[in-house]
Amino acid sequence: MTKRSDWWRGAVIYQIYPRSFQDDNGDGVGDLKGVTRRLSHVASLGVDAIWLSPFFTSPQADMGYDVSDYCNVDPMFGTLADFDAMMAEAHRLGLKVIIDQVISHTSDKHPWFIESRKSRENPKADWYVWADPKPDGTAPTNWLSVFGGPAWEWDGVRKQYYMHNFLASQPDLNFHNPEVQQAVLDAARFWLERGVDGFRLDTANYYFHDAKLRDNPPLSEDGAFGLDAPDVNPYGMQEHLFDKTQPENIGFLKRLRGVLDAYDDRATVGEVGDGARSLATVAAYTEGGDKLNMCYTFDLLGPDFSAAHIRKSVEGFFEAVTDGWVCWAFSNHDVERHVSRFMDDEEERERVAKLAITLLSALKGSICLYQGEELGLPEAELSYEDLRDPYGIRFWPAFKGRDGCRTPMVWETGRSHAGFSQADKPWLPVPYEHAVLAVDAQEADAHSVLAHYRATLAFRKSQPTLLDGDMTFLDAPDGLLAFTRESHGKRLLFVFNTTHKPATFPIRGLRKKFTLLPLPGFVPELSEEGVELEPLDAFCAALG
């Protein structure tokens, strides 16, 4: 088989959250050896790559997104040898390996920051964003932290504030300093030399800040309130013109692309959270073939599963991004699991899970799955005492944080913590509602959500049109999402009923050239009026 240098185009990527995937050493926390042990399950789904969330040395204030050594493995997760063994097994199974690069900020325990805060004259004094207070002692700007409160923390040694977009223990690197850029690019080379196939770039639009330290204006009336903790976090009340998404970011992304292009078949996917500007930002970051290969936004990570919203999001992307690429997802480690967001009640859980993966697989773009969604796992309900996420702890009870989507993967019914760990108490509890949905229980059920994922991803691979075909939306009755995918001399029609009531899709103008194709898990009926769809139903047809 010929190798594709653009293997990422149309790829299915499976996100592994190492803390919660498989605990191999019995300490209650997942690790790299555990990941290696369970990779055969991932490969059995028919995905193309894994995205491994952070496993680097870290104090774990933000679950590893506060890095203190970019070129080593935290002992909690194992060793570099364990990483190499994991990657070798992934490659043996035909899986590409993408790892997180969290380079907008470090931990305050990183040696760079420890040196930087010692004085204003040391060699790394300008490696972080330091600024003098205003004459009244207050912070240099009105910028806010995503995790609550000001984005500035006072340091008594330097007698200055330092900037942090997230926790105070996550100081922002100063990308205006060329030495900082070189240091993070060297860290990227370290992993490329070990053979990783690409990077997921955390908060890819947060690297640069406004060098003039101008205040952000209030959010305009037509702006969208921030997705993060949408009604409890003042962060969403500002127009973030100066604390992120600065024009200098383009030049750095080109430098990063130059590093990856020195290696064969590498890829990047950037996380872009930029409110109403997200699509324009993605366009700037992916166009021209000299920056990122693809990005994902938060458009489909909210509560709206309506046909109108999905069409608006997808059309909006392809109108804004003419020669870039997108990676779609309904769930990840930062948002409530999508079956809980989309279903009206528990009886709909399986139906929603099956429809969502079928719809996702039919969209133009690459797709990203989050561990456990192939089991139809709902959001876990946790008590305050069980929380580990600083974001949730900060805004409880108005916002419960991200722990509910990060609970351990469930593998075996009847075993302690559903086979995740032999520890007395894992780092987060395993809900009973999850344990009964474990992999081994679903393996024995040909109609399970797990079986549907495998069948749907196999269908996607069997249709080259779904990897790179053009996408055109069609007019449809309210609540129905209809579009065609076309390439290789083949034209496929997809229709999805995202409502909770029956609907009919008329095919009078298509009847002579219309052939229903078997779509895993869905069996619609033809009538004189058209195709009859049950609630949360779908069909696919070949058009002659």
Report phi then psi at 309, rounded to 5: -65, -45
DSSP 23: -
Q: What is the DSSP string of 360-412?
A: HHHSSSEEEEETTGGGTPPPPP--GGG---HHHHHHTTT---SGGGTSPP---
Rg (CA), the chain: 23
Strand-by-strand arrangement of the 490-497 sheet: 470-474, 480-487, 490-497, 537-543, 514-517
Is the link from the previous residue into 397 a cis peptide, with omega within 30 of 0? yes
- Helix, strand, or coil here: 502? coil
CB 70 within 8 A of CB 184: yes
CB 247 within 8 A of CB 209: no
- Helix, strand, or coil here: 240? coil
Residue of 202, 336, 374, 379 marked active site: 202
> Side chain identity at 103, as an amino acid letter?
I
Distance between the two ends of the chain, CA-based, in angstroms?
30
Q: Which helix (H) or strand (E) holds 199?
A: strand 198-201
Active site (annotated) includes residue 210: no
DSSP 433: H
Active site (annotated) includes residue 202: yes
CB 171 within 8 A of CB 199: no
Residue of 197, 271, 274, 350 marked active site: 271
Range list of H helices, 261-343:
278-286, 307-320, 338-342
Catalytic residue numbers, as ranges: 202, 271
